[in-house]
């Protein structure tokens, strides 16, 4: 028996790195019966069959996992958002942040294509970057094609397992090619007609970059909040999380309750209106989900 980490999942095979070797493994039938799916990032125990083949016998306990993309044991998520082409949508960033926060994973925000901004667009994006930095997030402005911001990103990767996530067309593959030029990952320009990118990443794979492991993931445009309960949502907003114990009522949802510290901070301008509006939108979505499921 050997131990290793799943680096790639493709066509029913799991590619497990152990020491200096990589083994193409199948999962045990027992996993299917137990409704367990091995994920990229899993630490596993496997048995070799021949020189480079094997069977996964055990999946070690995960510290966290994402469903979309399917990755486990993540230290941080690099949320890549285009400053333009496609147009930046704060509500989508807040949705990503909410899901990542709910998993207890550290988010890092990357704005790409900053070299393409007009002066008016630059002022607007700089305002958003300032807001998110004040909340406490690490925010990096980057342009892989111009090699801007790469020197800030690389030190963040060392010794960590990171995931690159974001919409299609925001420049994730271009960023990875810049961080590790020998990858030569396929990239596609934005479709001008549709205003969005084509999917270029077809599977999840951990790559060795900057002294750590970095997963490129298929692009996607939305994330659901199915694992988050109403009373847990505000904890996914750091500026609200800091104030929760100051509310009069335990379990305050920060909507109509009296002496709510979050509402007071909102009125004082300490919490941005658009962040609070997104919180209310997500809260309503969670409530509607519970009603549909009859819970």
* pLDDT tens, position by position, 254-281: 999 999 999 999 999 999 999 999 999 9
Annotated binding residues for Zn(2+)? 247, 252, 254, 260
pLDDT, average across residues 62-85: 88
Task: Specify the pTM.
Answer: 0.84
- Average pLDDT over the chain reads 86
The CA-to-CA distance between both ends of the chain, in Å, stands at: 45
Query: How far is 271 from 243, CA to CA, in rounded Å?
Result: 11
Annotated binding residues for GTP? 112-115, 166-174
Domain 2-59 has CATH 2.40.50.140: yes
**How much of the chain, in percent, has pLDDT values that exceed 90?**
57
Annotated binding residues? 112-115, 166-174, 247, 252, 254, 260
Helix extents (H) in 62-148: 90-102, 119-135
Is residue 171 very low, low, confident or very high in pLDDT (cuts 50, 70, 90)? Answer: low
Q: Residue 153: its pLDDT value, please?
A: 92
Helix extents (H) in the chain: 29-33, 90-102, 119-135, 150-157, 172-179, 230-233, 238-241, 261-267, 273-293
Q: Residue 82: its pLDDT value, please?
A: 87
Q: Residue 247: its pLDDT value, please?
A: 94
Query: How many CB atoms neighbour CB 261 within 10 A?
Result: 18
Query: How many CB atoms neighbour CB 198 within 10 A?
Result: 14
Q: Is the pLDDT of residue 295 over 70?
A: no
Query: What residue spans define the domains of the chain?
Result: 2-59, 65-216, 230-294
Q: Residue 193: its pLDDT value, please?
A: 33
Query: How far is 240 from 253, CA to CA, in rounded Å?
Result: 10
pLDDT in tens, 215-230: 866 655 446 777 899 9
Q: Residue 259: its pLDDT value, please?
A: 94
pLDDT in tens, 175-188: 888 888 887 655 54
Lowest mean pLDDT among 13-22, 47-56, 61-70: 61-70
Selecting from 3.40.50.300, 1.10.620.20, 3.40.50.12780, 1.10.1740.10, what CATH number does the domain 65-216 have? 3.40.50.300
CATH level 3 topology of 230-294? Ribonucleotide Reductase Protein R1; domain 1 (1.10.40)
Q: Hey, which of 18-32, 134-148, 182-196, 235-249 has the most confident mean pLDDT? A: 235-249
């Amino acid at each position: 028996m050997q131990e290793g980490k799943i680096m790639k999942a493709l066509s029913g095979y799991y590619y497990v790195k152990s020491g200096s070797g990589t083994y193409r493994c199948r999962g045990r039938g027992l996993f299917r019966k137990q409704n367990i799916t091995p994920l990229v990032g899993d630490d596993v125990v496997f048995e070799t069959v021949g020189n480079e083949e094997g069977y996964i016998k055990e999946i070690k306990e995960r510290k966290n996992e994402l469903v979309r993309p399917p990755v486990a044991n993540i230290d941080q998520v690099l949320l890549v958002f285009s400053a333009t082409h496609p147009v930046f949508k704060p509500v989508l960033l807040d949705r990503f942040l909410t899901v990542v926060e709910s998993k207890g994973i550290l988010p890092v925000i990357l704005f790409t294509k900053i070299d393409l901004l007009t002066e008016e667009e630059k002022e607007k994006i700089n305002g958003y970057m300032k807001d998110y930095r004040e909340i406490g997030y690490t925010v990096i402005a980057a342009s892989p094609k111009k090699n801007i911001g790469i020197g800030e990103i690389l030190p963040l990767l060392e010794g960590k397992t990171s995931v690159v996530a974001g919409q299609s067309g925001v420049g994730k593959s271009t960023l990875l090619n810049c961080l590790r030029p020998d990858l030569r990952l396929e990239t596609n320009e934005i479709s001008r007609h549709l205003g969005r990118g084509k999917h270029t990443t077809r599977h999840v794979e951990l790559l060795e970059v900057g002294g750590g492991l970095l997963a490129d993931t298929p692009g996607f445009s939305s994330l659901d909040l199915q694992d988050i309960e109403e009373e847990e949502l505000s904890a996914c907003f750091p500026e609200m999380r800091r104030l929760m114990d100051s509310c009069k009522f335990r379990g305050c949802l920060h909507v109509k309750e009296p002496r709510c510290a979050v509402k007071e901070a909102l009125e004082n301008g300490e919490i941005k209106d658009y962040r609070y509006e997104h919180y209310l939108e997500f809260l309503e979505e969670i409530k509607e989900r519970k009603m549909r499921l009859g819970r």
